[in-house]
Amino acid sequence: MSHVDALSRNPVEIDFGCLLVRTIDTKWIATVQKDDSELKRIVDILNDSTSGDIVDIRNNFLIKRGLLYRKTDDGERWVVPKGVRFQLLKANHDDIGHFSFDKTFAKVKESYWFPKMKRFIQKYVKSCLECAHAKVPAGKKAGELHTIEKIDCPFHTLHIDHLGPFVRSSSKNSYLLLIIDAFTKFIILIPVKSTKTVYSIRAMKNYFNRSKDNSDSDMDESDDAQLDAHEIRKSNEVI
């Protein structure tokens, strides 16, 4: 395995430093601008005094000390050739701490311009794996976990969860709301349509009201009216 040994003893050093757009280097800008055919076309038009009829280009671009600039409301910005836009973003997003789209965009547009730059940066930041990995999960924050004190009293503390989904029943129920009394371990199973809070509240209200009143009230759809918006909102805050 001498070839492997030779590699490990003499590792090939690849210097990517030259690819980075960390500093604003006017020579570098001039070189990459000349390599881009679209930008070269603009430069040629600007340098050709006979092409005065292309007003748009003359109004929007200018050449200063051999560099192509775009005129913007905030001042003149270097025009970034297609081939180095990813490098520019790498330097202004990845290498400086993965800031949000707003901050990345603000930073890039301080010095640079290219067509559809905002959309390009939006896509770049959105597809950044590092950012996706570090992102705080969206939606409601999970509540803090507390240890539950054991109380020797039936129905003082209930453990509630959903089981399912199961095959949908003829009553269109797909889940079971599982309620376990912490003291007696008594189990209550109530079929519900989904894991939505509204169905859980309704099922529990029906069950416990029925137990309390010892009435024959059914626990189907009849109690919708009892759950006004306020109660649902309140219960969402708890669950």
Of 58 and 98, CB closest to Zn ion: 98
**Which x/- pattern, by CB under 5 A, does the window 106-145 give for Zn ion?**
----------------------x-xx--------------
Of 92 and 173, CB closest to Zn ion: 92
Of 22 and 233, CB closest to Zn ion: 22
- Report the alpha-carbon distance of residue 72 to residue 102 in Å, rounded: 18
Q: How far is the CB of 32 from Zn ion (least distance, A)?
A: 24
Q: How far is the CB of 91 from Zn ion (least distance, A)?
A: 12
Site for Zn ion, residues 18 to 77, rule: CB under 5 A:
none
Q: Which stretch binds Zn ion (CB under 5 A): 17-25, 90-98, 139-147, 224-232?
A: 90-98
Q: How far is the CB of 135 from Zn ion (least distance, A)?
A: 9
Q: How far is the CB of 94 from Zn ion (least distance, A)?
A: 6
Nearest residue to Zn ion, by Cβ distance, number only: 128
Q: How far is the CB of 30 from Zn ion (least distance, A)?
A: 29
| Residues engaged in binding Zn ion (CB under 5 A) | 98, 128, 130-131
